[in-house]
Amino acid sequence: MNHVGQLIEARRLAYLNGAAVARNGVADFDTLIDAVRGAYLAHADGDVVMPKSEYLRYPGRPGYDRIIPLLGHLGGAVGVSGLKQICSGTGNGGRGFPRASGLIILNEPASNRPFAVLEGAGISAARTAAVTGLALRQL
């Protein structure tokens, strides 16, 4: 059973901070590239739902000061829905925070019940790198 299946079977809400996310696979670059490839193939097969994204921007602040909520569903072997929220603040470095932060909430599609909350900035950065890795693999 994969990590998603294990979390759903636990029937409780799990929280994984950045360190726990890294321990559970985000640091394994080959696995990430394979996961990104699987997501692209599912998208090509019509087994992905991704509504149009919206950006929350603040008047009078730089364009990179924003919150981006992204909804999606990935079918196939994974079978998970959820929300990724990426937040960016250009002044965060001066406040002692990273520029980008985020959360990912995973939902079981059968019940729509949330089953995991994950620190999302590291996952998002790793996914971006894995897209490049996948492109290089195809050369």
Domain boundaries, given as residue ranges, for the chain: 3-138
Mean pLDDT in residue range 118-136: 93
- Work out the burial of residue 45: count CB atoms within 10 Å of its CB; fewer than 13 is exposed, 13-18 middle, 19 or more buried: exposed
pLDDT above 70 as % of the chain: 95
Mean pLDDT confidence for 103-122: 93
Which residues are CB-contacts of 7 (< 8 A; sequence separation ≥ 6)?
14, 106, 115, 116
pLDDT of residue 81: 96
Q: Which CATH architecture has domain 3-138?
A: 2-Layer Sandwich (3.30)
At 57 the pLDDT is: 94
**Would you state the structure tokens that stand for residue 122, as one six-digit string?**
């590291």
Picking from 20-29, 70-79, 110-119, which range would have the lowest pLDDT averaged per residue?
20-29
Q: Which of 33, 78, 81, 84 is catalytic?
A: 84
Which H, E and C letters describe the chain, residue by residue?
A: CCHHHHHHHHCCCEEECHHHHHHHHHCCHHHHHHHHHHHHHHHHCCCEECCCCCCEECCCCCCCCEEEEEEEEECCCCCEEEEEEEEECCCHHHHCCCCEEEEEEEECCCCCCEEEEEECHHHHHHHHHHHHHHHHHHC
Per-residue pLDDT reduced to its tens digit, 48-101: 999 999 999 999 998 889 999 999 999 987 889 999 999 999 999 999 999 999
pLDDT of residue 41: 94
Please give the model's pTM, rounded to 2 decimal places. Answer: 0.84
Confidence band for 3, pLDDT divided at 50, 70 and 90: low
Active site residue 52: no
